[in-house]
Structure 1
Amino acid sequence: MDKHLSGRRHVMGWGAATAALHIMPAAAQAPQPPARMDGAAYTPRFVSSPDGVRLATYEFGNPQGPAILFLHGYAQAALSWDRQLRDPALARDFRMVAIDLRGHGMSAKPEGDAFYKPGQVWADDVRSVITELGLQKPVLVGWSYAGRVVGDYISTHGASAIGGINYVNASSSLGDPAFLGPDVGLLGPQAMLAPGIDGFIEGTVRFLRACFATQPEPADFQTMLAFNMLAPHYVRAGLSGRPANYAEALKALRLPVLVTHGEKDRILATPMGRFTAATVPGAKLSLYPESGHAPFWEEAPRFNRELAEFVRQAQANR
C-alpha cells in the first residue's frame, strides 16, 4: 500500500464530506481554500483567470528547479498526480505545480457553457498560472482531456512560453474512431453524465474502474472517487462536445514533445498516442504495454524516471 495513504485519508474524509456541496451551483458556495495535501511540503495558492474564475494551484518540490505544470483529466483533480508530486527524486530537482482545472477540485465552478465550451478560457487559464506563478519555460504534462487544454493553449497563445509538452494518454484529435477505446462511451449519459444521484455516482465508479488496467488500492480508489464527485454534472456536460481541431498547432510545434500512452487504455486507444507523436515534428513515443489510461499511476517509477529525463532534455534545448 502507498506509504502516503495515511496522510491522504484526512484530506479524503474532508473531501468526501464536502462533495455534496460542490455538486450545488457555484453561487451557493462560500469560497474554499485549496485542499491541504498532508504529508508533503507544498504551497497552495489561487490564481484568477481573465474571466474571473479562481483556480486552485499547488506547488511542490524545489522552487529553484526547472518547472513542471501538471494538468489533469476530465472530472479529476490535482490529487491525480499524487505519485509524482510526492516523489522524492522529482521533488529534489524540479519545481512542480499542479492545478485543479476550472470546474474541478477546489477551483471555482461557475454555471454556464460560456465558462467551459470556448477553447479561449482553457488557454487563458494555463497562461494565467504560468504568468502569476512566474513559471519559466515549464514543461506541460497533460493527461487525457488535458491534451485538449494544451491544444487550446498552443493554438491561442503559441508555445514560446513553454519548454516542452508531455502528452499522457491525451486527446489531441477526434478525427478518427480508431482513436477511441471501447469504454469511451462511459463519458456520456450512461455513466459520467447519468441523471440522478445514484446513476451519477455509479457511473463515476464505472468510469474510474475503466481508467486502470491494474486497479488502485481501495483507499486510493476512495480518494479518486471523492475528487471526481467534486466535478458537478453541469461542469462535466460543459466539457463535452467541444471541437478538437489541433492538428495544425501540433504540426507547428518546434519544441521537445514526449507522448506517453498505456496500451491497455479502454478510454483513448493507442492510435491516439501514435497520431500525436506522428503529427508533432520530432516527438518521442513511449508506450506502456501493461498500463491502462493512467500510466503515471500504474507504473509510476518508470513514468517519473522518463519525465525527469524529458524535462532535463527540454531544459538543455532551451
Structure 2
Amino acid sequence: MTTRVAVNGIEIAYESFGSPSGRPLLLIMGLGAQLIHWDEGLCALLAEQGHHVVRFDNRDVGLSTHHHDLGAPTTGAPSAYLLDDMADDAAGLMDALGWTSAHVVGASMGGMIAQSLAIRHPARVLSLTSIMSTPSPSAHPPTAAAAAVLMARPPADRAAVLDQALQTWSVIGSPGYELDREKITLMAGLAFDRSFDPAGTARQLAAIMASADRTESLASVTVPTLVLHGEADQLVPLAGGQATAAAVPGARLVTYPGMGHDIPAALWPDIVTEITKLTTG
C-alpha cells in the first residue's frame, strides 16, 4: 500500500516491506525513476534478511509532489532545488516513519542523494550503500551513446514511452545479461500509468548538474560504506564508483563484470548478501 506523508514542505509517497521491528533500510531511486523501480522481488529478499524496507518516490516523480508550477528548466536559470534538498526530503521521511536513523541505499541519482544525506545528516545514517553512482557526474560523464539516450526528446504517448524504454535499456543496461524486454515494457507501462512527467525528470537532472562535487565532503563520512558498481556501466562509468569508494574512508568497493546501469535479477542474491553484511556488521 502506498502512503503519502508531509515532508520538508512537500508530500512524499512511500511503501514498506518486512517487519517494522526489522533493521530500517531506506531505498533511494535514481533520475526519473519511481519507487516501483526498486523491484518488489529485490525488496522482498532484503526484507527476508531482517530489514524493514522502505522505498519512496523522490519529489517530481511518481505520487510524490511535482513542481508543475516551475515548468521545465531553462538554460541559465537557477535549479528549482538541489540534491541537498532531496536528501533533506529523505531525512524528513525518516522523521515521518519514526526512524531516528537508518541504513541507506541509493542507486544512480539516488546514490548521490544518499551521499548527501550521509554528509548533511550523519547521525541519521547507520550505513551507506552507493550503487552505480558518483560524487561528481561532471568528472565521470556518460559515454556518447548513453548521453544520447539520456537527453532524447521525451515521448508523446504510452506506446512511444515503451519503445523508448527498450531503446534506452538496450544501450545502458547490462550487456553481460539478457535484456528482459517483457519486464522493461511492463515497468515502463506501469510507470507511465502511475505518473508521466518529463518536466519533473528534467528538474531532477538540473538538480544533479547544479549540485556541488561531494568528493571532499565525503571524507567526513564515518559510517560503514559499500560501493557497488557495474564494470560495463555507460551512464555512470566505473570511475564514478571508484571515486566514491576512494572518497569515503574505509569504503568497500565491489564491482560486477557485465553489469551496466541497472541491477540484473541474477545479481540480487549477491547484492542482498553484501548489503546484509554491511547492516549486520
TM-score normalised to the size of structure 1?
0.75
Secondary structure of the equivalent of 1:295? Answer: coil
Could you tell me which residue of structure 1 aligns to residue 203 of structure 2? 238
Residues 294, 195 of structure 1: CA spacing in aligned structure 2 closer, same or farther, 3 A cutoff? closer
Report whether the alignment pairs 1:54 with 2:3: no
Report whether the alignment pairs 1:205 with 2:166: yes
Q: Deviation at 1:228?
A: 4.5
Over residues 164-199 of structure 1, what are the superposed CA-to-partner deviations in whole Å (9 max), with x where a residue is unaligned?
11001013213424x53443313543x2x4475587
Secondary structure of the equivalent of 1:150? Answer: helix
Could you tell me which residue of structure 1 aligns to residue 122 of structure 2? 159
Over residues 96-129 of structure 1, what are the superposed CA-to-partner deviations in whole Å (9 max), with x where a residue is unaligned?
1110111222222222268953334212211111
Residues 188, 286 of structure 1: CA spacing in aligned structure 2 closer, same or farther, 3 A cutoff? closer
Gaps of 5+ in 1: 1-35, 37-43, 314-318
Aligned partner of 2:239 among 271, 292, 299: 271
Q: Deviation at 1:144?
A: 0.6
Gaps of 5+ in 2: none
Could you tell me which residue of structure 2 aligns to residue 124 of structure 1? 88
Residues 110, 215 of structure 1: CA spacing in aligned structure 2 closer, same or farther, 3 A cutoff? farther
Secondary structure of the equivalent of 1:180? Answer: coil
Report whether the alignment pairs 1:79 with 2:36: yes
Q: Runs of 4 or more off by more than 6 Å in structure 1?
A: none
RMSD, aligned CA: 2.5
Q: Is the 8 A contact 1:182 1:267 kept in 2?
A: no
Q: Is the 8 A contact 1:256 1:282 kept in 2?
A: yes
Supply the distance in 2 between the matched residues of 1:158 and 1:49 (Cα, whole angstroms).
16
Q: Deviation at 1:63?
A: 1.2
Report whether the alignment pairs 1:70 with 2:27: yes
Report whether the alignment pairs 1:303 with 2:265: no
Q: Deviation at 1:134?
A: 1.5
Supply the distance in 1 between the matched residues of 2:190 and 2:221 (Cα, whole angstroms).
33
Amino acid across the alignment from 1:76: A
Q: 168-177 vs 248-257, which deviates more?
A: 168-177
Residues 164, 265 of structure 1: CA spacing in aligned structure 2 closer, same or farther, 3 A cutoff? same
Supply the distance in 2 between the matched residues of 1:227 and 1:73 (Cα, whole angstroms).
17
TM-score normalised to the size of structure 2?
0.84
Could you tell me which residue of structure 2 aligns to residue 45 of structure 1? 3
Supply the distance in 2 between the matched residues of 1:128 and 1:203 (Cα, whole angstroms).
34
Could you tell me which residue of structure 2 aligns to residue 180 of structure 1? 142
Q: Is the 8 A contact 1:70 1:97 kept in 2?
A: yes
Secondary structure of the equivalent of 1:163? Answer: strand
Residues 223, 115 of structure 1: CA spacing in aligned structure 2 closer, same or farther, 3 A cutoff? farther
Residues 278, 92 of structure 1: CA spacing in aligned structure 2 closer, same or farther, 3 A cutoff? closer
Residues 182, 295 of structure 1: CA spacing in aligned structure 2 closer, same or farther, 3 A cutoff? farther
